[in-house]
Amino acid sequence: MSRDLNFPVWPQYDETEREGLIRALEQGQWWRIGGSEVDRFEEEFGAYHGAPHALAVTNGTHALELALEVVGVGPGDEVIVPAFTFISSSQAAQRLGATAVPVDVDPYTYNISVEAAEKAVTDRTRAIMPVHLAGLFADMDALAKLSADAGVPLVQDAAHAHGARWQGKRVGELGSVAALSFQNGKLMTAGEGGAVLFPDAELAELGFLKHSCGRPPTDTQYKHKTSGSNFRLNEFSASVLRAQLARLDGQIDVREQRWPLLRDLLAAIPGVVPQAGDDRADRNPHYMAMFRVPGISEERRNQLVDELKAAGLPAFIAFRAIYRTDGFWEYNAPDTTVEALAKACPATEEVYRDAIWLHHRTLLGTEAQMHAIAEVVAETLGE
Ligand SMILES: *Cc1c(COP(=O)(O)O)cnc(C)c1O
């Protein structure tokens, strides 16, 4: 039987991106100081996420670094991160001289285990970083409580969570600093780019200074008020992101319709367990369509992904446990071993070996294509 596996392409663009790029080109200023695209984008992006202040930056990794820095993370501090995430979560902390402390995740949602995070808090802990994996929220109620009890700020790695909502609250309304990414695969993109959402003006002002070599927006006298670096976004990227933002909500609507269907079809396949969400999250942007095949070996999982690809699905293997990469141990790693962390993170040990994800462009496809995906997965697993 011939199946239609021609999913929508990613990234998407139309005349709005084209017009934006020309607008930026002809504006005569191609950096944010003196231009208007980055300023407008920050207003629009902040408002969309319910954040009082937004700052556009060069990429999501820099956004995390800046977010950690403004809440006071520095040398000698500890930052608690989930062990199952993209490596930027820990690298951002390590670049600031802080120790990244990985903790286990939930085996169904793949999000940070709040109990594990609580146990990892010490008097050196300066931030806890939940990652809303694949756009499904970590338990923000329990984390808010832990944050308050421990007196440690939350820094949300929201690189997968553009437009997400937790009990009616958007990412920027949850009272913590949040970092987002606009890398090519993310839910809105300019190829590269990032943003930080701030809960108050003070942190936002510090963020601006830090992202622009310590200079206030109007400085002409090289009076660098703080230390910093250059994480400024350019006008071209911001013009593209304004167009991408305008398209995001409609795309989330489609993915929100498709995922429950695909999830149920996948769940009906023997051996397949799709990622679980939390009912308190009332809008899920769905950055990845993820599922586990519990009990299979890492080798078999990798082979399965190759087979799914050969059958026409944009399939990928899951992130590796961060403590199982060489990069994690190069500097500012905790004083422990891979073996000890593996023992402390049993769910991570399983998920990183047996999880598979499909690109979110699949969820922009038709209902018939959700059935086609499930059929391909069932056939591939059955072989
Ligand atoms: C993509 C990603 C980042 C980093 O974003 P870049 O823009 O690629 O630097 C950080 N955290 C997570 C979870 C990501 O997936």
pTM, to two decimals: 0.97
Domain 15-243 fold? Aspartate Aminotransferase; domain 2 (3.40.640)
pLDDT at 1: 56
* Marked catalytic residue, from 222, 279, 326, 335: 222
Cβ neighbourhood burial of 151 (10 Å; 0-12, 13-18, 19+): exposed
CA of 63 from ligand 1 middle (Å) equals 9
Whether 59 lines ligand 1, by a CB cut-off of 6 Å, is yes
Candidate from 111, 131, 156, 183 with most ligand 1 atoms within 8 A of CB, to mutate: 183
In this prediction, residue 324 has a pLDDT band, given cuts at 50, 70 and 90, of very high
Tens digit of each residue's pLDDT (9 = 90 or more) over 327-366? 999 999 999 999 999 999 999 999 999 999 999 999 999 9
Pick the CATH number of 247-382 from 3.40.1280.30, 2.30.30.90, 3.90.1150.10, 2.40.128.20: 3.90.1150.10
Indicate which atom in ligand 1 lies nearest the CA of residue 61: 9
Can you give the residue ranges of every domain in the chain?
Answer: 15-243, 247-382
Shortest-distance Cα residue to atom 10 of ligand 1: 88
Shortest-distance Cα residue to atom 6 of ligand 1: 60
What is the average per-residue pLDDT within 275-302? 97
- Contact call for residues 138 and 130 (beta carbons, < 8 A): yes
Place of tokens 């930080």: 196
What is the average per-residue pLDDT within 240-269? 98
Task: Fill in the amino acid letter for 3.
Answer: R
Place of tokens 């090519």: 184
d(CA 365, CA 10): 12
Tens digit of each residue's pLDDT (9 = 90 or more) over 124-171? 999 999 999 999 999 999 999 999 999 999 999 999 999 999 999 999
Strand, coil or helix: 100: strand
Place of tokens 């300019």: 190
What is the average per-residue pLDDT within 32-54? 97
Phi, psi of 243 (to 5 degrees): -70, -40
**Portion of the chain with pLDDT greater than 90, in percent:** 98
Catalytic annotation on 162?
no
For 266-280, the DSSP string reads: HHTSTT-EEPP--TT
User: Above 90 in pLDDT, residue 79?
Assistant: yes
As a whole number, the mean pLDDT across the chain is 97
Indicate which atom in ligand 1 lies nearest the CA of residue 131: 13
The count of residues in the chain is: 383
User: Above 90 in pLDDT, residue 61?
Assistant: yes
